[in-house]
Copies of this chain bind each other. A is one copy, B any other.
Amino acid sequence: MSSQNPSMPRARIGRRPGAESTRQAVLQAARARFAGDGFAATTIRRIATDAGVDPSQVMQFFGSKDELFATVMAIPPSALHRFDTAFEGPGEHLGERVVRAYLEAWEGPAEESEPLMAMLRGAIVNQHANTQLRDFIQSRLTHGMHGRGDEAILRAGLAAAMLVGIITSQRIIGVPALVATDKETLVRTIGPAIQQLLAGDR
């Protein structure tokens, strides 16, 4: 009716956001806390304090703790790309490539690794995280196994479960032997086992 198109986002009216975009600061603080302390141990008040913001503003921006967590947990496209490309290319060193993709995804920059860590830490206590991790294990590796039968899907799922177990043991449980070992040694040691599991030969 007016001169403005209602389907377009309204022009920014009203008070402008504070220094350095508060919303971004909250999201960043939430990501770090959820990744480091888990869903249950992380409080809205703590996130607000970290971001230098009032707790009620966190709610105003994200609606609820669950919605904020869901936003944080969204797997960034760059991480998905890592897993997808690991399956492309020759099958010879497939195992090592997949192992490396996993390990690197969890040690990458914060914007990429923290959502994955938050998902892992939250999977036991939060419904969203549980579903997301389930789909991640079931479909991510499966993606490279299209049209190769049920056994191939099972083997891919098993490999994913194993790698998630290794990440968990290293970064959450803190098993000394895994913490002390560098990435390339892990790749060299685990790679062949995953390779054989995915290929199905002996």
Interface residues of A (CB under 8 A from B): 38, 40-41, 121, 123-125, 130, 133-134, 137-138, 151, 153-155, 157-158, 160-166, 168-170, 172-178, 181, 186, 189-190, 192-194, 196-197, 202
A38 to B173, CA, bound (A): 16
A1 to B77, CA, bound (A): 77
Assess the B154–A164 pair: CB atoms within 8 A.
no
Q: What's the number of copies of this chain in the assembled complex?
A: 2
Residue of B nearest to A168 (CB): B165
| Main DSSP-derived SS at the A contact region | helix
Assess the A38–B157 pair: CB atoms within 8 A.
no
Residue of B nearest to A198 (CB): B193
Residue of B nearest to A176 (CB): B138
**Assuming A125-B41, A134-B174, is B197 touching A189 (CB within 8 A)?**
yes
